[in-house]
Structure 1
Amino acid sequence: MALTFNEQFDQHGAWRREFALRLKLLSEWLKDHDLLDSAVEERLRRLESQIRTDKVMVAFVAEFSRGKSELINAIFFAGYKRRIMPASAGRTTMCPTELGYDPEVPPCLRLLPIETRLQTQPLMEWRMVPEKWHRVDLDVNDPDQLSQAIEKVSEIRRVTVDQARALGLWHDDTPEDNPMTGADGLVEIPKWRHALINIAHPLLKQGLVILDTPGLNAIGAEPELTVNLIPQAHAVVFILAADTGVTKSDLQIWREHLISEDNASDSRLVVLNKIDTLWDALSTPAQVQAQIERQRATTAEILGLKQHQVIPVSGQKGLVAKVNDDHELLKASRLPVLEQALAHGVMGQRQKILRASVAANITELRMEGTRHLSIRRRDLAEQMMELKGLRGKNMQVIKHMRARIEQEQGEFDASGARIHAVRSVHLKLLRDVFNLLGTAALKTEMTELTDALRQPGLKLGVRKAYAKTFDRLREGLRKAAKISDEIQTMLTGTFRQLNAEYGFSLQAPREPDLARYERDLDLVERSHNQYLGVSNALRLAQPEFADRLVRALATRLRVIYESALGEVELWNKSAAAQLDAQLRERRRNFGRRLEAIERIQQAASGLDDRIAEIEAQEAGLDQLDAKLAELTQHLGNTPLGARAPVAEPVLKTA
């Protein structure tokens, strides 16, 4: 039987917990056997962080009164046996609301006052200033208190038209989009700009983040929603009303904020909600079904989707059915069909991406560990050959051998200056890459874009200003990639030379793929161009709105550039750690060889004893190599499912 989204997410959480446990045990084993250099440690840390912090964001987007909050209640909160998100008549979500879980923060609702829109800081910066948010503590064991507290996201304020205009919620040039004016001349606006709900719901604890967005006005007025949060969501559920189909404002939201040709088709789902309004006692079930299918086909055609991406549902009946354990009503609501689409589309795709990334990192871990063992194995082989060559030789020959080892050691130590010089050139080039991808370069670009947008008059040339900015950003990435190529060529040549001279087994690590960050830039540019349509030209004439848009862009770009820098740093660490490991092992090797000569000089049986020790060490390395292969394979084969064993015996006894 197909899994619901909640069940699939439960399995995903179980897989993450089991993987984290196996990773911890592998890390301890590597440390115990001195196989944990800085590069391996960094890769383990990133893997652990990736699994621990992996989030899956599902954004629910709709115009007002489409039943969005009720649908969220039905899918995620039916276990409370009542509504949690405000969804009754006259009560609706007025501000963008994120539901997630942070163990460092007590259960609470945090609300950002609407007045913060008068300042240019993006939402990401406001998140760093918790004292500016209004906080309401939540009792997760009391559904009534929880529901009552969360109703605050529905609160409104009545302000003058001038105040609404200053907040960017009133536009003289588009009167049809403005809120209605009361008899007293005041207009209703949201009391809060953004809401964060932190509760230990089982799904939220496992990394699910739900983004509940209000209607068109709120989405358009908050650029960070359109250019950051919604594009980065792993799935977007766009909700329409089955009885009205695609209205003008629905179509505007879809065209300006949701179309994205680079998103996987199954990450964009359209829900025809409230199909129960079409359940007509005067029509046969077949007639009702035909009407739903017609509306579904028309919706798919208007939005340019395949029909299977449009899912008819009754969120309200689905919630009622779950609360009352009414299986027939649940089936009629078609809610399970939507849950399965989310499970296969969102979770299936997310697991596929995460597992591919994890598999690549495990392969690199295995290679790093094997390389360490190979260095040790080669040094043992050299010692064995040297010692076997001493059999039957007199003490004078052994003394001469000691002198030769000491000479080799001296020459090797003297070569350190040359290796240091190579590293200096490498680090100089690396600094150039860091400068191109660093915060200062990004800040300069954002300042230039802000200056361009502050030019007087309507921003009809705004696309051109953005295009120039992204062209320069792409050029910077290409320069960084070119320097990376130079470093890689230099590393390859240097490592080949050191291998030839000292018998090392250095191998230049895989070069960072900076081209994929250029593709990320393309996606960001596309989402901004989508937002820079004619409908927003008037807003862009306001300097504070343009500043807010640029700050939102900077927030998104910072994430991309930090990821690119992280990949370059890991590449550098991997190269440096290899060289350090081989230099360290070679120095140890000299020490062991001199110690063996000394023991042979002191006792006749010393030679045979030392040869036996090396044979035992070689056998030990074979066992370590087999165990490393076993552990990394075990890590990669972490089972998907809640009933996975905590740890298999191979890890317990390692």
Structure 2
Amino acid sequence: MSFTRDFDAHRAWRRAQAQRLHTLAQALAARDLLDAGLRERLERLQRQLDSDKVMVAFVAEFSRGKSELINAVFFAGYGRRIMPASAGRTTMCPTELGYDEAVPPCLRLLPIETRLQPQSLLEWRSAPERWERIDLDVNDPEQLARAIEKVAEVQRVPIEQARALGFWHDDAPEDNPLPGPDGLVEVPRWRHALINMAHPLLKQGLVVLDTPGLNAIGAEPELTVGLLPLAQAVVFVLAADAGVSKSDLALWREHLAPVAEGVDTRLVVLNKIDVLWDGLSTPDAIEAQLARQRATTAQVLGLQPEQVLAVSAQKGLLAKVRGDDALLGESRLLDFERALGDAVLQRQRDLLGGRVEAALAGVVAEVERGWRLRAREWQDQIEELEGLRGKNATVIAHMRRRIEQEQRDFDAGGMRIQALRSVHLKLLRELFQLLGNPSLHAGVNALAAALRQPGVKFGIRRTYGEAFAQLHATLEQAQRKAAEVQSMLQASFRSLNAEYGFALQLPGALDLSPFAAELREIERSHVQYLGLTNALRLAQAEYADRLAKAVLGRLKVVFDAATAEVESWNKAAAAQLDAQLRERRRHFARRLEAVHRIEAAAGSLEERIAELQAQRDAAAQDVQALRELLLDPSGVQRVDPPTSAAAGSGA
């Protein structure tokens, strides 16, 4: 299975990177170089690698074979269908498949009636007692499939209730469900489903999002506002014989076209190509027909031709279950799996790998600055002790008093450092206030109030634009304050370096522009919900409230991430100062210890000089080994434990 192999390779890569960071942290700690800032950076990267999730969202109108495609790619190993995909049985509610080791294998279902209540999906996730739970036996395919069939359940309700739930639209009667003789219409029984199971791919961090058709997606803004934009890949499934229908195009334009900006990780699957295997067309004629359909689909959807693939999910599943390689090749399922692996996993490796390499480059610079400072202090101490050769006890005592006075002067300078910290913390608090929840709510309160007004929302686009303009202004103000913090610390570090011989340097620029870009993406991807085509839906108080909460929830993620970035940057800067203050105090202690030893036994002078020279030489070897470890992933095992001479003096 191509995608399974690719995902296994991705997991192995993540493990190798995590092991690299772990080995590096151990090596730095053994050399007393792992200060709080470096530890925080390495642990943060470690958490990102350990908790890395790859979400693939499958989107389609009904009866396109989307659930069958999920079965073929991810669940063929069970030897049968797991997701409901037979005639008349299909996924009716958004369904997430993932793995959380803290939760037993189960299916959780949120009743559709919760749409009539004000809580968002995110809030409902924190209320497990409101979900119906069914335990799953992942070793029993029959029980697993029977349980998961519940995501296909429907119920019959009056038209008024269907309208309130978002499944009946007076402005689009052609899309409404057909009333029965009793006047009732069919709607999904469940609002959202969460499947937690220890499938090998899910355990490795894969999350599969199975979404139903246009009506279900459009009625749940939190899905398209909060989940789809987070997916590493979106797979849009069409019928190969029909191409892009009117409802397909509406689904694409309203919900999927805005998803991608920059790197496009959308794939379109023309499914059910086996309907063209009618025995009356030659293979060449079928191939030509598929090529035309792919080219036309790409043109209509504004994609590159290679983003459109032709597949038979049903034949691919059958081929995997039977072990029929010839049929598997004809189904072209492996072509899709390879494209999915390239689109998702390579991009994710590039993203995570870039973060790792950027962080390690910063660690290289910081470690080498620390080593240079230590090497200079070793050399100063060696020269200081060499100057005592042949001197009498009076000269040695005078040197001890001079070192003690230098130590007292340095300790007295601590008041100045504390004053600098006070100014720094004041600026930092102001920055955190700008990024905190009060600022966020101030920016969206007017938008939320406008969305929650009853009736048609005239002027909502203008209110939306004004709200985001205020949020952009807040981020710009935060960036200016961040520059002020950085400028203040830069001047302080320069002064301390000059006065105390430190080697302080800021850990790169505090740049909030990535969060401004995310803010622009949120603004751009949500604006389609404010147009005329959505006017009547926006007039419904429940829908407008859900949209407001969905937008606020995603904005909160951005501002929380910006706050975390500032905290990490600040911790790296503060930890560097703490480390060099601590090292300078150790330096005074080592100098005084050497003089006391020489006063007690004159013969120990040459021994101490030789000891310092050995430590300096061992340090030079250590820093070279660390440099190789930092810059060369294959060198993870080449770093030896620190030499006894280096370890013995706290060097």
Q: Write the distance in 2 (CA, Å) between the matches of 1:180 and 1:653.
A: 74
Per the alignment, residue 105 of structure 2 pairs with 107
Is the contact between residue 22 and residue 651 of structure 1 (CA under 8 Å) also seen in structure 2?
Answer: no
Q: How big is each residue's C-alpha offset from its partner over 1:164-206, in whole Å with a ceiling of 9 and x where there is no partner?
A: 2222222223222222211111111111111111111111111
SS of the residue 1:580 aligns to: helix
Give how far 1:637 is off.
4.5
Instruction: Indicate which of 1, 7, 10 corresponds to 2:8.
Output: 10
C-alpha distance 487-503 of structure 1, shift in aligned 2 (>3 A):
same
Instruction: Indicate which of 36, 59, 63 corresponds to 1:38.
Output: 36
Pairing 1:373–2:371 present: yes
Q: How big is each residue's C-alpha offset from its partner over 1:492-534, in whole Å with a ceiling of 9 and x where there is no partner?
A: 1111111111111111221222011111111111110123232
Q: Write the distance in 2 (CA, Å) between the matches of 1:216 and 1:533.
A: 16
Pairing 1:89–2:84 present: no
Instruction: Indicate which of 379, 382, 394 corresponds to 2:380.
Output: 382
Per the alignment, residue 641 of structure 1 pairs with none
Aligned-residue CA RMSD (Å): 1.7
Is the contact between residue 85 and residue 150 of structure 1 (CA under 8 Å) also seen in structure 2?
Answer: yes
SS of the residue 1:270 aligns to: strand
Q: Write the distance in 2 (CA, Å) between the matches of 1:620 and 1:130.
A: 58
Unaligned segments of structure 1, at least 5 residues? 639-647
SS of the residue 2:510 aligns to: coil
**What one-letter code is carried by the residue in structure 1 that aligns with 2:638?**
V
Q: Write the distance in 1 (CA, Å) between the matches of 2:167 and 2:639.
A: 59
Q: How big is each residue's C-alpha offset from its partner over 1:318-341, in whole Å with a ceiling of 9 and x where there is no partner?
A: 111111111111111111111111
Q: Write the distance in 1 (CA, Å) between the matches of 2:465 and 2:92.
A: 34
Q: How big is each residue's C-alpha offset from its partner over 1:140-176, in whole Å with a ceiling of 9 and x where there is no partner?
A: 1111111111101001111111222222222223222
Please give the residue correspondences for 1:197-208 in structure 2 after superposition, counting only pairs within 5 Å: 197-208=195-206
Per the alignment, residue 391 of structure 2 pairs with 393
SS of the residue 1:323 aligns to: helix
Q: How big is each residue's C-alpha offset from its partner over 1:592-644, in whole Å with a ceiling of 9 and x where there is no partner?
A: 1111111111111121121112112112212321232233235x449xxxxxx
Task: Using the TM superposition, name which of 614-623 and 211-220 deviates more.
Answer: 614-623
C-alpha distance 542-337 of structure 1, shift in aligned 2 (>3 A):
same
**What one-letter code is carried by the residue in structure 1 that aligns with 2:540?**
Q
Give how far 1:456 is off.
4.5
Task: Using the TM superposition, name which of 11-20 and 448-457 deviates more.
Answer: 448-457
Per the alignment, residue 644 of structure 1 pairs with none
Instruction: Indicate which of 618, 624, 643 corresponds to 2:622.
Output: 624
**What one-letter code is carried by the residue in structure 2 that aligns with 1:521?**
L
Q: Write the distance in 1 (CA, Å) between the matches of 2:501 and 2:513.
A: 35
Instruction: Indicate which of 53, 63, 70 corresponds to 1:72.
Output: 70
Per the alignment, residue 245 of structure 2 pairs with 247
Please give the residue correspondences for 1:551-630 in structure 2 after superposition, counting only pairs within 5 Å: 551-630=549-628
Per the alignment, residue 129 of structure 1 pairs with 127
Per the alignment, residue 643 of structure 1 pairs with none
Q: Write the distance in 1 (CA, Å) between the matches of 2:75 and 2:332.
A: 17
Instruction: Indicate which of 449, 471, 478 corresponds to 1:473.
Output: 471
Is the contact between residue 260 and residue 266 of structure 2 (CA under 8 Å) also seen in structure 1?
Answer: no
Per the alignment, residue 638 of structure 2 pairs with 650
Q: How big is each residue's C-alpha offset from its partner over 1:388-430, in whole Å with a ceiling of 9 and x where there is no partner?
A: 1222222222111111111111111111111111111111111
Is the contact between residue 45 and residue 356 of structure 2 (CA under 8 Å) also seen in structure 1?
Answer: yes
Is the contact between residue 265 and residue 344 of structure 2 (CA under 8 Å) also seen in structure 1?
Answer: yes
TM-score by length of 1: 0.95
Q: Write the distance in 1 (CA, Å) between the matches of 2:640 and 2:261.
A: 42
Task: Using the TM superposition, name which of 19-28 and 394-403 deviates more.
Answer: 19-28
Task: Using the TM superposition, name which of 290-299 and 152-161 deviates more.
Answer: 290-299
Q: Write the distance in 2 (CA, Å) between the matches of 1:427 and 1:157.
A: 58
Give how far 1:265 is off.
5.7
Per the alignment, residue 25 of structure 2 pairs with 27
Unaligned segments of structure 2, at least 5 residues? 643-651
Per the alignment, residue 522 of structure 1 pairs with 520
Instruction: Indicate which of 536, 555, 575 corresponds to 1:538.
Output: 536
Per the alignment, residue 331 of structure 2 pairs with 333
Q: Write the distance in 1 (CA, Å) between the matches of 2:421 and 2:563.
A: 19
Please give the residue correspondences for 1:163-562 in structure 2 after superposition, counting only pairs within 5 Å: 163-260=161-258, 262-264=260-262, 266-562=264-560
Q: Write the distance in 2 (CA, Å) between the matches of 1:274 and 1:435.
A: 55
TM-score by length of 2: 0.96
Number of equivalent positions: 642
Q: Write the distance in 2 (CA, Å) between the matches of 1:74 and 1:269.
A: 16
Task: Using the TM superposition, name which of 99-108 and 449-458 deviates more.
Answer: 449-458
Is the contact between residue 158 and residue 188 of structure 1 (CA under 8 Å) also seen in structure 2?
Answer: yes
Per the alignment, residue 648 of structure 2 pairs with none
Give how far 1:653 is off.
6.5
Q: Write the distance in 2 (CA, Å) between the matches of 1:125 and 1:378.
A: 57
Q: Write the distance in 1 (CA, Å) between the matches of 2:203 and 2:640.
A: 27
Q: How big is each residue's C-alpha offset from its partner over 1:450-470, in whole Å with a ceiling of 9 and x where there is no partner?
A: 112234541242221111111
**What one-letter code is carried by the residue in structure 2 that aligns with 1:35?**
L
Q: Write the distance in 1 (CA, Å) between the matches of 2:263 and 2:620.
A: 48
